[in-house]
Structure 1
Amino acid sequence: MLHLRAVCPPDKTDKAVEVLRAHPGTAHLIVHRGVAVLPEGDLVEVDVAREAADEIVGALCTLQLDTSGGITLEAIDTALSDAADRAEEAAPGDGADAVVWQELIARTGEESRLNVTFQAFLTIACLLAAVGIVTNSAVTIVGAMVVGPEFGPLAAIAVGLVLRRWDLVRQASVALAIGFPLAMAVTLGATLLGEATGLFSRATLLANHQVDFVYDVGKFSLIIALLAGAAGMLSMTSAKSAALVGVFISVTTVPAAGYAVVAAVLQDWERCLYSFGQLVVNLIGIVIAAAVVLMLRRRGQRAGGTERPLSRE
């Protein structure tokens, strides 16, 4: 279940209540008259089945509540209510399979912004990857995969391409285009310092057999990237968010960036080039698979007749 809050201008409250009351996928409808201050108006609260949320939000957007008032959604961890159970049973489909498009746009938009936190995580992930490479530690490489935040912008690009939200595509592309070079630059400085102090040498890199998969680009690199992108988008468009951890540790985006830096410092240009190729293949593969999954899910929603116009906000 999801909890929906809508701030309504007084002249639209009755229409909003009528929409919510008429839908079988709602429960616990509450109206607070005149409590909203900014913007002024009424507050309407209701619990909705996840599989009905997109349709309900679309109907409220046709009343322009997203521009004259406001609509928010939040997940309900536990709902002990026969009315809620009836709403979930009456709503078509299954909650785990439902796509709440506005939630997806908001989530990918938030996770694709270039900010200090995003850059810090990406930089730390690249540094971890470099340490894993010079210490021949596959465990550390996996740690770098988990820490890396790059799937957020990649998912945002896929969402933007499918929904023609070019603002998302631009925002995510900027995050990747600036974030990776900055993270690699910091890793370059740390690697140069490590080499100067004798922490590792070219012989160390040549002996790293356990982490050779990082730069070993090939057909399976693309296959893994496609599978990871598909799994990641399925996770983001459903209630199975825990599956994202598996996506993070299945692709070698950040480790490839770290390996390219270490190989460049040690002037192993062949491995540097292969690592960069691995990075590009993974980025492209993830976006392609995520976009295909999103298109299939949207086509299924259209076939079911439940697609609603998406707000640009």
Structure 2
Amino acid sequence: MLHLRLIVPADRTDSVVGLLEKTVGTVHLVVLPGVARNPAGDLVTCDVAREAADELLTELCALGLEEDGSIAVEEVSVSLSDRADRAEREAPGEPADAVLWDHLTEATHEESTLSVTYLAFLCLATMIAACGVVLDNAILVVGAMAVGPEFGPLAGICTAAARRAPGLAWRSTVALAVGFAAAMAVTTLFSLGMDGLGLFSDKKLEADRANTGFIWDPDPFSFVVALLAGIAGTLSLTSSKSGALVGVAISVTTVPAAANAAVALSYGDYVQMAGSVQQLALNLVGILLTGTLTLLTQKFFWTRQRSRMFRTEQSA
């Protein structure tokens, strides 16, 4: 279930309440007239089944609440209510299959914005991965994958493509390109510094690395894994399965490839650098391709289900 908190201009309260009352899957409706001060209006709250929320939010925005009032949505972790259970059963579809497009857009907007924190995490992840590739330490490489925040901009580009949002696409692309460029530049300097301290060496980089040699030597499986990761990562976002997103993060060779390219550049090994950049590109393209296709597929089937439900209600 989701909890909606609405600030409604007084002249639209009846319309909003009527919409909530007729929406299948809505329950626990509360109306507090005149309590809101900024903006002024009535406070309306309710719980709604996740699978009915996206259409409801669209209709609430059509009533002008986005401009003249407020719409806040929260996840309900526990709801001990027979009415809520009945509302979820009556709502069409399954909660895990429902996509809240406004929520997805808002989430990817935050995660795909070029910020100091985003750059810091990406640079730190790439430097950790640099230590992992030089030491041939798979644990460090996996840790770097988990720290890297690059899936946020990737998800932003996929969402922008599915929703035709050029602003989000541009912001996500800038975050991805500038982020990796900055992380690789910082890691190149980091590698030179570590070499000066005697902790890195070209011999370690050129050695036969059984655990991390694949990073700069991509094969068809690299692209296959990226394709699968794009599907899994997108589904984890749309279904709020954050645990699955961690698994996606440690299954694709993005940050490690950027790190290996940076270290190779610091030693003038352009063969490893080229292979690492190719690995990075394959993973990014694979995730973007299947991530976008997954969202478009979800959008298609969910729209068909809503249309079928509407026709059923009309014929009843």
Same fold by TM-score, threshold 0.5 exceeded? yes
User: Residue type of the partner of 2:55?
Assistant: E
Residue 49 of structure 1 contacts residue 87 of structure 1 at CA under 8 Å; is this kept in 2? yes
- The alignment's TM-score, normalised by the length of structure 2, stands at 0.95
User: Offset of 1:84 from its aligned partner?
Assistant: 0.7
Deviations 1:109-133 (A, max 9, x none): 1110011111111011001100101
Residue 139 of structure 1 is matched in structure 2 by 139
Residue 96 of structure 1 contacts residue 240 of structure 1 at CA under 8 Å; is this kept in 2? no
234-243 or 4-13: bigger deviation: 234-243
Residue 64 of structure 2 is matched in structure 1 by 64
Following TM superposition, where does structure 1 have runs of at least 4 consecutive aligned residues deviating by more than 4 angstroms? Answer: none
Residue 189 of structure 1 is matched in structure 2 by 189
User: Residue type of the partner of 2:68?
Assistant: S
Cα separation, 1, equivalents of 2:228 and 2:47: 35
Q: Does 1:20 align with 2:17?
A: no
**What value does the CA root-mean-square deviation take over the aligned residues?**
1.2
Residue 253 of structure 1 contacts residue 279 of structure 1 at CA under 8 Å; is this kept in 2? yes
Residue 191 of structure 2 contacts residue 200 of structure 2 at CA under 8 Å; is this kept in 1? no
Change (3 A) 1:306 1:253: farther
Deviations 1:241-294 (A, max 9, x none): 221011000001000000001111122110110001111111111011100000
User: Residue type of the partner of 1:51?
Assistant: E
Cα separation, 2, equivalents of 1:174 and 1:52: 34
User: Residue type of the partner of 2:126?
Assistant: C
Cα separation, 2, equivalents of 1:247 and 1:46: 34
Cα separation, 1, equivalents of 2:116 and 2:22: 45
Cα separation, 1, equivalents of 2:95 and 2:302: 14
Residue 237 of structure 1 is matched in structure 2 by 238
Cα separation, 2, equivalents of 1:240 and 1:114: 24
User: Residue type of the partner of 1:278?
Assistant: Q
User: Residue type of the partner of 2:151?
Assistant: F
Deviations 1:154-181 (A, max 9, x none): 0100110111100110110111121111
SS of residue paired to 1:210: coil
Residue 89 of structure 1 is matched in structure 2 by 89
5 Å-filtered alignment, 1:57-136, equals 57-136=57-136
Cα separation, 1, equivalents of 2:36 and 2:175: 36
SS of residue paired to 2:3: strand
Cα separation, 2, equivalents of 1:44 and 1:86: 21
Cα separation, 1, equivalents of 2:279 and 2:266: 18
Count of paired positions: 307
SS of residue paired to 1:159: helix
User: Residue type of the partner of 2:137?
Assistant: S
User: Residue type of the partner of 1:145?
Assistant: M
Between the aligned residues of both structures, percent identity stands at 49
SS of residue paired to 2:211: helix
Residue 235 of structure 1 contacts residue 241 of structure 1 at CA under 8 Å; is this kept in 2? yes
User: Residue type of the partner of 1:221?
Assistant: S
Q: Does 1:51 align with 2:51?
A: yes
Cα separation, 2, equivalents of 1:10 and 1:104: 30
SS of residue paired to 1:99: coil
Residue 310 of structure 1 is matched in structure 2 by none
Deviations 1:135-157 (A, max 9, x none): 11001000000000000100100
Cα separation, 2, equivalents of 1:123 and 1:32: 49
Deviations 1:286-311 (A, max 9, x none): 0111000001001102212359xxxx
